[in-house]
Structure 1
Amino acid sequence: MDGSERRLASALIVDDHPLFCDALSMTLRAVAGIEVIETADRLETAIARLDISPLPDVVVLDLNLPDVNGLDGLIRLRATAGEVPVVVVSSLADNRVIGAALRAGAVGFVPKHSRREVFKAAFDAVRAGEGFVPEGFVPQADPNAPASQREEAIARLSLLTRQQAKILQLICEGMLNKQIAYELTIAETTVKAHVTAIMRKLGVQSRTQAVLIAQEANFDRLMPENG
């Protein structure tokens, strides 16, 4: 609101399709003036990149990656990215997915099939410090209505730190505390402390309940019953 613009000179594209990465890179250079573009084909690769300075000015994320199943990838990325805005570019452009992505911390959502003008509008909005949703997106009719179980789950998952989100993912994979400690090279007592904090933030009493909360962010819960 003070008239200043966000710098957008570099971007990290997180997508596992090389041809789309190439096409999107050309689009961002042409319509958004982004000069330096890096790519990552896995969430873990992207998170590792965000541990290194300098950070990119914007992250462009595909929700459908080989090592994540749903919005947990966005939630974990947001926990790592800090102040770096995350724009979702996805072929899953259902209203429910768009709304959930925005609630999980994305500043904008662009369907993959969009024309260049849409990408330009989206990144112009990000540069101006604003959000962006595609034409035709219909938000929840009544913003004062009670949050659904899924919305509550996404809100709670967004409270987790990066390490807590990673540990929850490993819990979902069936790992025990000892196995998680080995995987992350941390003490088992540290894992236990994190698990306690995770359950407190999620408002649950057991690991099983925590897994159920995490599953609310999966795509099969977000998409329509008939596909």
Structure 2
Amino acid sequence: MAQEKLQAETAFRHALVIDDHPLFCDALGLTLRHFAGIERIDTADRLEAALARLGAGEKPDVILLDLHLPDVSGLDGLVRLRRVAGSAPIVVVSSLADRQVVSAAIRAGARGFVPKHSDREVFLTAFRIIAAGGLYLPEGMDLPDAPGRGYEDALDRLAQLTPQQATILHRICCGAMNKQIAYDLSIAETTVKAHVTSIMRKLGVQTRTQAVLLAKEASFGNMLPDPPLRQ
């Protein structure tokens, strides 16, 4: 009886989980299936795999997204997913749950943010609120200010970047020059220059400084881990 009541409250029947950690996916799947009443759970360990599913016509009721995946990291994945998710709410489930990250994710279009270490009851509460049309934030966090037009414009431009270009832009935000970026990524410096030119064209800027400012407008740089140095 209790489970039937919970199913009626959540109203979600099909979930798409995008995460590359199999054990976490299994545990989350059990929670969603047996306690949230979700009957069908599909998984994708890459953003591109999830985008392919959605592009092929799959229409989940809710999407759960980890911000850090093998083929994308930070807001870039959320922005790209939001453009094809249709009416399905996106819930970020991440181990990074500081106030800045949560605020940036919500402003970028997520309908909820659940820290990965949360217990089952937190996930169920989040699902009830989101299914009812609300917005779920971790306990103790306030609703971020509504994004301005500049923020939305910055996100739209950043969404045009390829994963490689997003990586290069992050390194630019960290102060790396073309030669260092080429060395770290094991590519030719001329290739980096070509990417930088394309990045600036897509972002509609003329200089690297302008590109960094636009990225910071959307908290892009702060949503990515520090770039690894080549050994």
TM-score using structure 2 length: 0.70
State yes or no: 1:199 paired with 2:203: yes
Q: Separation in 1 of the partners of 2:200 and 2:11?
A: 38
Q: Separation in 2 of the partners of 1:195 and 1:57?
A: 36
Tell me the CA shift for residue 104 of structure 1.
0.5
The one of 35, 38, 41 aligned to 1:34: 38
Name the structure 2 match of 1:70: 74
Tell me the CA shift for residue 176 of structure 1.
7.8
State yes or no: 1:105 paired with 2:109: yes
Tell me the CA shift for residue 168 of structure 1.
4.9
CA RMSD after TM alignment: 3.4
TM-score using structure 1 length: 0.71
State yes or no: 1:118 paired with 2:122: yes
One-letter identity of the residue aligned with 2:220: A
State yes or no: 1:165 paired with 2:159: yes
3-state SS of 1:12 partner = strand
Q: Separation in 2 of the partners of 1:167 and 1:72?
A: 8
Name the structure 1 match of 2:214: 213
Residue segments in structure 1 that go unaligned for 5+ positions in a row:
180-191
In the alignment, is the contact (CA less than 8 A) between 2:101 and 2:223 conserved in 1? no
Divergent runs of 4+, >3 A: 151-154, 166-179, 205-216, 218-223
How many residues are aligned here? Answer: 194
3-state SS of 1:136 partner = coil
In the alignment, is the contact (CA less than 8 A) between 2:32 and 2:38 conserved in 1? yes
Structure 1 stretch displaced more, 205-214 or 104-113: 205-214
In the alignment, is the contact (CA less than 8 A) between 1:110 and 1:133 conserved in 2? yes
Tell me the CA shift for residue 138 of structure 1.
3.9
In the alignment, is the contact (CA less than 8 A) between 1:85 and 1:107 conserved in 2? yes
Cα deviations across residues 25-50 of structure 1 (Å, max 9, x unaligned)?
01111222111000011111111111
Identity of aligned residues (%): 49
Q: Separation in 1 of the partners of 2:159 and 2:215?
A: 10
Q: Separation in 2 of the partners of 1:105 and 1:213?
A: 18
